[in-house]
Amino acid sequence: MKSVSIISDLEDFYVVQIFGKIFERCKKHINTFNVRVKNFSIIEACFKIYSLSGLKDVVFVCVVDPGVGTKRKIKIIKTKKNFFIGPDNGIFSLIDENLIEKIIEVSNEQFSPSPTFHGRDIFAVIAGKILNGHKIESFGKEVKEIKRVDLKNKILYIDEFGDIITAINNKKIMAKFGEILKVKIMCKDKKVKIIESKFVRTYADEKEKFVIYKGSSGFLEIAKFKDNAAKILNVKIGDGIKILD
Amino acid sequence: MKSVSIISDLEDFYVVQIFGKIFERCKKHINTFNVRVKNFSIIEACFKIYSLSGLKDVVFVCVVDPGVGTKRKIKIIKTKKNFFIGPDNGIFSLIDENLIEKIIEVSNEQFSPSPTFHGRDIFAVIAGKILNGHKIESFGKEVKEIKRVDLKNKILYIDEFGDIITAINNKKIMAKFGEILKVKIMCKDKKVKIIESKFVRTYADEKEKFVIYKGSSGFLEIAKFKDNAAKILNVKIGDGIKILD
Amino acid sequence: MKSVSIISDLEDFYVVQIFGKIFERCKKHINTFNVRVKNFSIIEACFKIYSLSGLKDVVFVCVVDPGVGTKRKIKIIKTKKNFFIGPDNGIFSLIDENLIEKIIEVSNEQFSPSPTFHGRDIFAVIAGKILNGHKIESFGKEVKEIKRVDLKNKILYIDEFGDIITAINNKKIMAKFGEILKVKIMCKDKKVKIIESKFVRTYADEKEKFVIYKGSSGFLEIAKFKDNAAKILNVKIGDGIKILD
């Protein structure tokens, strides 16, 4: 392991407390990366954890955890590339099942956490020990499952450009560049919108219309060149989305 | 010293200039942490400096400094755990007196700073030298005091969840979990509010009412599960707060 | 090279993907710095790249790139102090011509990028290789020019305090501290404003009026003590600005 990344809905001074705890336990040089998720957003956490899961040799400390201190489980996931530590509340839904080598359900006995900050008092301690070569089996018993929420045909994320990232795999699109596609959006307030989008290679190939293209994260994205597609369409993370035939 | 942390109300490209200056002087590997304070907020700086002061072997460069370039003093504080450098304008108020080993008042003669960016031109130079093992006595004369502002019974901080962090020590609460407590809030505009809060172990133990609990920073906090307590109550950092008997 | 800095209009989880790609290629310890530019802002990118260009031994990955995937060029600039990689769309305008040692126009053949994320798929790969000691000549042919946009007498940046940073060199001011200067602002909507500013050494030397002073970046700045000058004047990045005789 050569990097540690915190993916959380926490402010920077809480994040620094987590990094601080990790470094208390870990002597060697480690790269640190911090990624912010909006407060309580399980779906956004799913997407960002997935997006970064391809990086190698990273310990990911994941803290989107409104149930902190209650009976929700804490899990450690070892994949072929890296480790994930966090609450088992759905945030790990998009981690590829085929990559997973082992799942540990943490037993809290060896920790004495404050009830509101397990990121610092449990996850960071585990991360520091993993970085030091500690075996994850010592933190609890092996289990088979993590909680997965259903994200099929949903809007996974809206980035700060207003680009809409869907849960539809890039491989699902068979159109040719320049074709106009009909996209149906089912908002959580039951409103349904059907928009026309041009299938393009990259944003700037079309300056006026909505565009749809194979996004860099592996999912189809809908955007508008130098504009905010999500605002124009008034859609939100979690809304349903479908390409019509 | 193995980490350097900047706690400031500065944008990232100013912060990078400070880190850059530090690294010009410091050859070995150092972890870097950045923490943002809202513009000019002395109280928020107090709280965040305090919250992080328990980390070990960190040089803290503290730049909430509206009086930069004027005659306000610059101080270096050596504690049993780490070093703090910054303007002596009250931001160090919450550092535990019993931990302080030495205070140096910096004499500016050995620096040629721009008048508006002492964080880069003075503090960073000092930090880089401390990281290299330089003695702090060479930067000025030893003094006995730092400026402390009175934060007793105040709201120290409101985090991005809207949780209200008070200056009341966790040990001051004697209630049992589940008890309803009356909390009096004295806003700076003279309005007084009395609210009922349930004393809980963690947020999710109560989904409807305001809750009060022992915060992870050592102070009592008031919050509402998945809601923004500070917005509902319309309170601000610096407002007075008291638990009624 | 001992640091790598990403200057971009990208969210943190995209930035982490870039850092991740860099670290895949680079074994040794590198300091990392991240700087955020507002979406699509070429002028802000110019200013921030310039502000940081004085740091030594840094590889700068610059990603303000609305034309990503189109025929805009990618350039690598080697200066006497560091390296810059990014789209040749004007963002390098303020890099000092006298410091430039070599400019390479990247030929894309050796990369297989996604069409929307060259920051990760091309620039990061180049950065990682430069950090490993790779020669930049191998990425394309040497050229003489980078694209420069005209920023003379413009507002370069407005920081989060509302301080207005102009493109007027500090050396252009000949006034004495305390003098009142007339400053003409030509907004992009054709409105013209003339304001009186007091020439000061630092903000806090004047608590009531607008002040003008030699900024820490080398350019004249206009501000108001503990207030937001840009908001009061309703000016924007890119507006024209001139000191009247």
For chain A, the structural domain boundaries read 3-143, 155-243
Find how far residue C208's CA is from the centre of its chain. 31
- CATH number belonging to domain B155-243: 2.40.30.90
Question: Given this model, what pLDDT does residue B29 score?
Answer: 82
Which of A202, A205, A211 to mutate to probe the C interface, most C CBs <10 Å? Answer: A202
Here the ipTM equals 0.93
CATH number 3.40.50.10790 given to C3-143: yes
Neighbouring-strand partners of residue B63: B8
Average pLDDT over residues A77-97: 97
Task: Give the residue from B50, B225, B18, B41 showing the smallest Cα distance to A13.
Answer: B50
pLDDT of A10 higher than 90: yes
Share of chain A above pLDDT 90, in %: 89
What separation in angstroms does the CA of B122 have from each of A143, B139, B181, C5?
54, 10, 48, 23
- Going from the C-alpha of C217 to that of each of A44, A172, C170, C220, C225, the distances in angstroms are 37, 50, 9, 9, 19
Distance of alpha carbon A217 from alpha carbon A187, whole angstroms: 23
Fold of the domain built from segment(s) C155-244: Elongation Factor Tu (Ef-tu); domain 3 (2.40.30)
Enter the tokens of residue B152.
């007793």
Distance of residue C197 Cα from the nearest chain B Cα, in angstroms: 17
Query: Quick one: pLDDT at residue B215?
Result: 94
Percent of chain C with pLDDT strictly greater than 90:
90
Q: Minimal CA–CA distance to A139: which of A56, A188, A77?
A: A77
Sign of the alpha-carbon dihedral angle for A122, A125, A128, A134: negative
What are the counts of helices (DSSP H) followed by strands (DSSP E) for chain B? 5, 14
- pLDDT tens-digit series, residues B129-142: 999 999 999 999 99
Higher pLDDT among residues A145 and A245, named by residue: A145
Determine the average pLDDT of the residues in A66-79: 94
Are B168 and B153 in contact, with CB atoms under 8 Å apart? yes
Say yes or no to pLDDT of A211 above 90.
Answer: yes
CA-derived radius of gyration, chain A: 20
3-state DSSP percent of chain A in helix, strand and coil, to 5: 25, 35, 40
Q: How many Cβ atoms are within 10 Å of B114's Cβ, its own excluded?
A: 20
Widest CA span in chain B: 59
What DSSP element (H or E) covers C13? helix C12-25
Query: What's phi and psi for C16, nearest 5 deg?
Result: -65, -35
Residue A214 to chain C, least CA–CA distance (Å): 8
Nearest-CB residue to B35 (from A16, A24, A39): A16
Q: Contact, A230 vs A163, CB < 8 A?
A: yes
Q: Give the pairing of strands A180-186 and A192-199.
A: antiparallel
Long-range contacts of B69-72 (CB under 8 A, 24+ apart): B69/B113, B69/B115, B69/B116, B69/B118, B69/C201, B69/C202, B69/C203, B69/C204, B69/C205, B70/C202, B70/C204, B70/C205
Chain A interface residues facing chain C, Cβ-Cβ under 8 Å? Answer: 2-3, 5, 7, 29, 31, 33-36, 48, 51-52, 54-56, 58, 159-161, 201-205, 213-216, 221, 225-226
Closest Cα partner for B216 from B228, B203, B205, B225?
B203
Interface test with B, best of C5, C31, C46, C165 (most B CBs within 10 A): C31
Cα distance from B48 to chain A (closest Cα, Å)? Answer: 7
Measure the CA–CA gap between A173 and A186, rounded to whole angstroms. Answer: 19
Instruction: Examine the pLDDT at B59 and tell me if it is beyond 90.
Output: yes
Residue from the list A35, A213, A216 with its beta carbon closest to the beta carbon of C12 = A35
Average pLDDT, chain C: 95
Q: Report how far residue B23's alpha carbon sits from residue C186's, in angstroms, rounded to the nearest whole number.
A: 40
Query: Concatenated DSSP letters for A88-125?
Result: -SSTTTTS-GGGEEEEEEEPGGG----TT-HIIIIIHH
Length of chain A: 245
The C-alpha of C107 sits at a distance from chain A's nearest C-alpha, in angstroms, of 19
* Chain C: residue whose CA lies nearest to B120: C216
* Distant-in-sequence, close-in-space partners of C58: CB < 8 Å, separation ≥ 6: B20, C1, C2, C3, C4, C5, C33, C52, C81, C82, C83
Other chains touching B, judged by 3 or more CB pairs under 8 Å: A, C
Quickly state the pLDDT bin for B153 (edges 50, 70, 90): very high
A89 touches A109 (CB < 8 A): no
At A25, the pLDDT band (50, 70, 90 cuts) reads confident
Bridge partners, A158 (sequence order): A164
**Residues C242, C173 contacting (CB under 8 angstroms):** no
Q: In the beta sheet, which residues pair with residue B157?
A: B165
Cα R_g (chain C), whole angstroms: 20
C179 has a pLDDT exceeding 90: yes
CA distance to partner chain A, nearest, from residue B2 (Å): 9
- The reply to whether residue B33 touches residue A17, judged by beta carbons under 8 angstroms, is no
Percentage of chain B lying above the pLDDT 70 cut: 100
Bridge partners for B79 per DSSP = B100
Residue among B2, B29, B216 whose CB faces A116 most closely? B216
Asked if A202's CB is within 8 angstroms of C70's CB, the reply is: yes
Q: Which of C225, C207, C214, C218 is nearest to C176 (CA)?
A: C214
Nearest C-alpha in A relative to C115: A202
Q: Are C12 and C117 in contact (CB under 8 A)?
A: no
C74-79 β-sheet, strand order: C31-36, C3-8, C58-63, C83-87, C74-79, C100-106, C140-143
Chain B residue numbers touching C51 (CB-CB < 8 A): 13, 17
Angle value at C-alpha B215, between B214 and B220, nearest 5 degrees: 60
Which chain B residues are closer than 8 Å to A115 by Cβ?
Answer: 201-202, 213-214
Contact residues, chain B, for A131 at CB < 8 Å: none
Nearest to A120 by CA among A37, A3, A6: A6
Contact (CB<8Å) C205/B70 = yes
What residues contact residue B133 under an 8 Å CB cut-off, 6+ apart?
none
The residue in chain B having the minimum alpha-carbon distance to the alpha carbon of residue A16 is B33
Give start and end residues of each alpha helix (H) in C59-132. 118, 124-131
Cβ–Cβ below 8 Å for A69 and B5: no
What whole-number distance in Å separates Cα of residue A39 and Cα of residue B36? 18
Query: In this structure, are residues C82 and C56 in contact, taking their beta carbons and an 8 Å threshold?
Result: yes
N-term to C-term CA, chain A: 45
B117 vs A71: CA distance, rounded Å: 49
- Least CA distance to B11: which residue of chain C? C160
pLDDT at position A101, please?
98
How many Å apart are CA A172 and CA A220, to the nearest integer? Answer: 9
Residue C27 has pLDDT above 80, yes or no: no
In order of B222, C29, C51, the CA distances from C96 in angstroms are 53, 29, 11
Distance CA B64, CA A92 (A): 39
3-state SS assignment for residue C198: strand
Q: Which pLDDT belongs to residue A112? A: 87
% of chain A surpassing 70 pLDDT? 100
Quick one: what percent of chain B has pLDDT higher than 90? 90
The amino acid occupying position C61 is V
Chain B residues touching C202 at Cβ < 8 A: 68-70, 115-116
Confidence of residue B244 (pLDDT cuts 50, 70, 90): very high
Helix H or strand E encompassing B52: helix B42-52
Residues from chain C that touch A29, judged by Cβ atoms under 8 A, are 29
Alpha-carbon gap, residue C147 to C64, rounded angstroms: 14
On the question of pLDDT at B87 being above 80, the answer is yes
The reported pLDDT for the residue numbered B245 is: 81
Structure tokens at B96: 């535990």
DSSP state of C123: I
Mean pLDDT of A171-183: 95
* CA A196 from centre of chain: 28
Tokens of residue C222, six digits:
């206009």
Give the whole-angstrom CA distance, residue C243 versus residue C245.
Answer: 7
pLDDT in tens, C33-59: 999 999 999 999 999 999 999 999 999
Contact C12 A31 (CB under 8 A): no
Q: What is the pLDDT of residue A108?
A: 83
Who has greater pLDDT, A227 or A108?
A227
Picking from A65-69, A192-196, B24-28, C176-180, which range would have the lowest pLDDT averaged per residue? B24-28
Q: Are A89 and A72 in contact (CB under 8 A)?
A: yes
